[in-house]
Each structure stands twice: as C-alpha cells, then as structure tokens.
Structure 1
C-alpha cells in the first residue's frame, strides 16, 4: 500500500493507493500528527510520499516513522522540470509544492491538453500549463474565506457573516454584498486568466481546459459560466506519480 500525505498549514490530508485506485480523502489537524498516530492508522505501508508546506519538524516525525517501519519514502519538492513538466519560476524552490503537484496531476489526467488549474483553498492559485507541458506562470489571490475576513476585520462599519450563495447577483444588504463580491472577484479573476491565456499564450486553435480543485472548487464550479472539470484529488494524482524507490529521500 502507498500512503500519500499532503501536510497543510491547518489540516493534513491523506489518501492511500492500492489496487490501482486512490482512496477517499481523509484529514487530521496538522498539529496532531505524531509517530503513534501514524503507526496506529497505517500498519501496512510500503511507500510514503509527502508534500509539506508546514513546519519542517513534521518531516522528521514522518522520516522517523518510515525508517523505524522500513518504509520507502520521499518528500516532494518543486523542481525546474520533471515528468516532462517545466516550471516557469526562475527559482523553482519558491514555487509552492501544491501548485507543482497540481501541474503534474493535470498533465497526468489530461495529457497534451492546455490547462488552467485553479486551486481554491486558503489562497486561490491560478496556473497555466500548455499542451506541451510548459508552465507559463500564474497568480495568487486570497481565498474566499481570507478575502471575507480581511475586509470585515479591517473595516469599522462593514458588518457581515459568511453565507452561501446560489448565483452571482447584486446585493441589497451588507452581508450579501460582501459574500457576493468575494465570489464575483474570484470568478472575475479566473475569467481574466482565461482571456489572458488565449490572447497571450495559446495558439488560436488551442482549446483550454479549466480544472478546479481545493476546498471551494465545487462551489466555484456551480457559479462559473464556463465549462470546468472539478478534480478533488488533483494534488494526490500528481503525488502518486512519484515513486519512493526512485524519488529523493
């Protein structure tokens, strides 16, 4: 069995891969991860692949567990090029590993297809990958919840509470106005990214696939006016390309 762990700032998400399939995504609060929890929950693991945007101390916890159980392991880092994917960043080490894995995951599921990857989580990231595997760069903006809290906490007379919306519309009260604007701003940014991709980076006859992932992706798909693919496990699809026997330990 292969264990794939995505360590985030607040939550650690994980799946297993066996018999050719990824399991459902499960999660635990990141600060609760320790060797005892790993041993109790994963008694039979042959490989462990990890991406970590949190404290590097967690790498040592996972390393100690893997070595004590004789499990092959590797920690994924962003690279200049791998699996025929080329990163646009001059310094790939500054490119978030979650975005890197999104590129790899999209290329795995949709080979030779120009793709705009939107990861809508704490931050919303947008990255363009050409059909030949060239990353053209991307954007980072605050996620829906972060955008909401930033406005409410930094203004004296904007009182609002988070609220689900079913469609983009103008609002007649402050709560709706803030919630509507957060989603509209995010969708507007994505639409601008689509326009920019076609006008500046892609041949006229090249189609562009829009891929959504992350915690707010399902809701975004409902509100978007263009066709999108929602891939919940996109990062894990990318992570699964790595083989601990061949990867960097």
Structure 2
C-alpha cells in the first residue's frame, strides 16, 4: 500500500511517500499549491495531511478527487490514534508534537521516550511506556532566540546561525555577536541537556530521540545515547494513517 504524509508548516510543505512501512521518498515543496502535481506523480492510495499553519478542510476536499482511498486531515483532538493522548487540552496540541509521539511509540514500544524536536520551537515531549503521550515543554527555537534579542532591544544586532553547525561555539564571546551566539547556542544546549537529565533521573529506561531542522546542531552536543530520526513526524503521520485505514 502506497501512502503519502503531508506536513504543512509555517513556510513550506514537507512530504514523505511510503511503500508499506518503507519511507522511499521525502522532500519539501514551497506550498500546498504544489500538492496536486505531487499526487499525480506519486499516485498514493491514501493520504494524511497535518498542518500547524492553516485549516486544511478545503484542500482535502479538492485532493480527494485525485486519491482512490482516504484523504485524512489529522486533528489531534478527534483523529483515532494507535496510542493514548493524555494531553489535558488536545484541541490546542500541535499536530506535529502528537505525530512525533506516535512515531516514537512505534520505534520503541513499551519504553519511555523523550522526543526533542528542534525546529522553529524546541519541543521536548514524553511518551510513557510507548503507549501514552503525556505532554512536555515548548521553548523558542534557535533562530527565534536570535530574532528576539534583536527585535526587543534597541541596539543588539541580528546574528545568524553559524554556517558550520558542528563548529565549536566559544563559551566567552569577545565581541557582541560572539556573545550573542554563546548565549543563544550554548544556553539552548545547556537547557536541553538539563531537561534530558531531569527525565533520566525519573526514568531508568529512557530512549532519547532527536528530530527537527536543528537536529544537526544539537546531535554532537547532547549527553548520552541519542537517536536521530529527522523524519519522525512523517513516520508518525504514516502510522496514524495506517491505523485509521485498518480500523
């Protein structure tokens, strides 16, 4: 069975095409306007759509004419899931967070998992025993921190991410730009390592999985064994779609 998972973000649409459980193609397109051409090319039997940026009701209805099976608009509060969602306000829960939790539960059934999704925001979420999404924390992402320092102060410059993400970031900045880089980047790493240590103190058999656009920056800087799965959200969306098609 061929399926297509669409993750509509604030600036682009990421997709993953699966044959069975094998993710064989993934890429980014500029907007939802490119999806009909994608459907024509890939010919999926079923499609799942997740969006943190816009209501997908209208486009789902349009795409249905190109798909022989289901076109499922993922809604965290109402869509059937292969895990339990224990979030107190599911209608406010970001679809990407819940999809990542489903992906982690599929990789590590029966295990506690901490998901670190380092993108526009840095989200750290706990899946209990591979069965229950409990929630977690949301903090500004790296670029948002740089932009906030520039926007909400009178004279601090807008500093960009280093071109080489694996290069060391000096702890002591010897000019203003270097000081900002140290504060933002070293501070974010210390923050995430602190969260990991706090969860590990509570959970003896904790799996840590890292995803998101800034995973490459965090990977060499986080302590302990870390699994990096950049496509975790797409994999979780695929598992949600399969669950709904089969049930």
Normalising by structure 2, report the TM-score. 0.86
For 1:138, the equivalent position in structure 2 comes to 136
Match of 2:188 in 1: 186
Aligned length: 240
Q: 1:127, 1:39 → 2: CA distance?
A: 32
Distance 1:133 1:20 in 2: 20
Relative to structure 1, the CA distance from residue 245 to residue 140 in structure 2 (aligned partners, 3 Å threshold; closer, same or farther) is closer
After superposition, the CA RMSD in angstroms is: 2.4
TM-score by length of 1: 0.86
**Which residue is equivalent to 2:6?**
5
Note closer, same or farther for the CA distance 1:45–1:241 as it changes in structure 2 (3 Å cut): same
Counterpart Cα distance in 1 of 2:39 and 2:85: 36
Unaligned stretches of 5+ residues in structure 1: none
Match of 2:30 in 1: 29
Contact 1:160 1:178 in 2 (8 A): no
- Aligned residue runs from structure 1 range 69-218, under 5 A: 69-79=67-77, 82-83=81-82, 85-131=83-129, 133-164=131-162, 166-168=167-169, 169-199=171-201, 201-202=202-203, 206-218=204-216
In structure 2, distance between residues paired with 1:19 and 1:238 = 14
Structure 2: state its 5+ residue gaps. Answer: none
